[in-house]
Amino acid sequence: MRNIVVVMLVVLVLAVGGITTFYSFLFSTKVHGELLSIEKVGGANNLVSSDKSIAFSYAVAIKDESGKIYTASTEDRQWAALEKLAASHYCVDARLYPYAPWNMLKAGTFHDARLLGVTEGCGKK
């Protein structure tokens, strides 16, 4: 009986640890919609990545088919290619990763927006 309790406790600890560690991946959201805005954030305070190159941070806004607007921050360099195209009615597929609810200051917002694909003609009537 004691062994069963120990095994169940270990499984519980591993499950809680896995959820807290991989929360963003487990609850990520795939969004398909019109790229409304992409802005470079940081200016002179750009990040320097581990390979000593400059990494830019972006703020992204995407409007899905239902009209809901998603915003996220990202350091993915693929968004740089779309920086000038935001007003051109391009559709994007993106994966957004939520901050965990126990991160009180950022709960309910997204980070590390990953660009999955781009198509033309979104939003045109």
HSE, CB side, 13 Å, CA atoms: give it for residue 40.
15
Domain segments of the chain: what residues?
A: 21-119
Measured CA distances, 105 to 40, 71, 110 (Å): 22, 16, 12
- Could you give the 3-state DSSP secondary structure of residue 57? strand
Q: What is the arithmetic mean of pLDDT over 14-18?
A: 78
Q: Can you give the pTM of this predicted structure?
A: 0.76
- Written out in words, the top-level CATH class of the domain with range 21-119 is mainly beta
pLDDT at residue 30 above 90?
yes
In this prediction, residue 19 carries a pLDDT of 75
Structure token pair of residue 18: 């896995």
Q: What is the arithmetic mean of pLDDT over 3-31?
A: 84
pLDDT band (50, 70, 90) for residue 42: confident
CA distance 74 to 20: 21
114: exposed, middle or buried (Cβ count in 10 Å: 0-12, 13-18, 19+): middle
pLDDT band (50, 70, 90) for residue 124: low
In this prediction, residue 64 carries a pLDDT of 92
